[in-house]
Amino acid sequence: MKRCFLYPGQGAQYSGMGKDLWEKSKPVQELFSGASDETGINLTKVLFEGTDEELRQTENTQVAVTVVSLAAMTYLREHEVTSDACAGFSLGEYAALVDAGVLSQKGVFRLVRKRGEFMADAALRLDGGSSGMAAVLGLNFEQASRVLDDLSGEDIFLANHSGPTQIVLSGSDKALSRADELFDKAGALRFVRLKVSGPFHCPLMKAARDDLAEYLKDIEFKDPVKPVFANVTGAEVSTGAEAQRLCVEQIVSPVRWVPIEEKIAAMSFDQIYEVGPGKVLTGLWKSFTKASRCMPAGTAEEIAGLAV
């Protein structure tokens, strides 16, 4: 049985996520405890007792999503279900790098907390926070690119190539308002401003990239033990050094999710699982192709129901 694991990113979080895994698994409890010790965040309290507002704080969210994704991976392994390849969307790439043996499970939690802090700080420095992101639905990549060409010179950039007819933009509020008008004229079905704290995955986050580059100098990145795909290139990562460089560039580069899906589809996996909270990647996979299955595997019930 050939399997690929997909790990979700920031935005997939919800209050109470991971509690069922924590209740059923001693290794998951140990994972939560270690992550809390590494980051100074009481994760069981934030996830199981905290408010939505606490969970939405970037420095909490990135650790919380990562620990729940790795808790699901841990619980799958307890059920003797492992991956033969993996990928992660944005933040989810860090869980994938743990799965592929590039990053240590212990060290990844402090890393993603620092990443969250760097991103939050960089966003606040930008015009008092007057910037953000927007999803555009109904145009393919080439059509959307032509609209962006008309916005050349303004602070707006492609942030995610999420699906065949779905992209995400990052930029200043002024540029996003202008983009709304142009995409409407181009025939987009929807232009939806996202509830995020900054213009992620674009050059406006250069300060966060520079901070992360300095921090990662002291982090060990090993060569992957299985295929793992990078957001920046949409291709397989060859070495630990390459993974480290791409983690830095990911901060200011678009998530090339459709090219990653194309690579995974070409490898003819028997099963593809979304390992972590929510079903965002399952939905994106269904919009990408009807030929292959992607199933959610982020709760104890979902994992128990998998055919192994």
Active site residue ranges: 90, 201
Residue 115's nearest CA partner among 206, 251, 255 is: 251
Tell me if 68 sits within 8 A of 112, measured CB to CB: no
Q: Residue 137 half-sphere exposure, CB side, CA atoms within 13 Å? A: 8
What's the rounded Cα separation, in Å, for the pair 183 and 255? 20
What's the rounded Cα separation, in Å, for the pair 15 and 50? 7
Burial class (CB in 10 A: 0-12, 13-18, 19+), 64: buried
Which are the contacts of 18, defined by CB distance < 8 A and separation ≥ 6? 28, 32, 47, 67, 68, 71, 72, 277
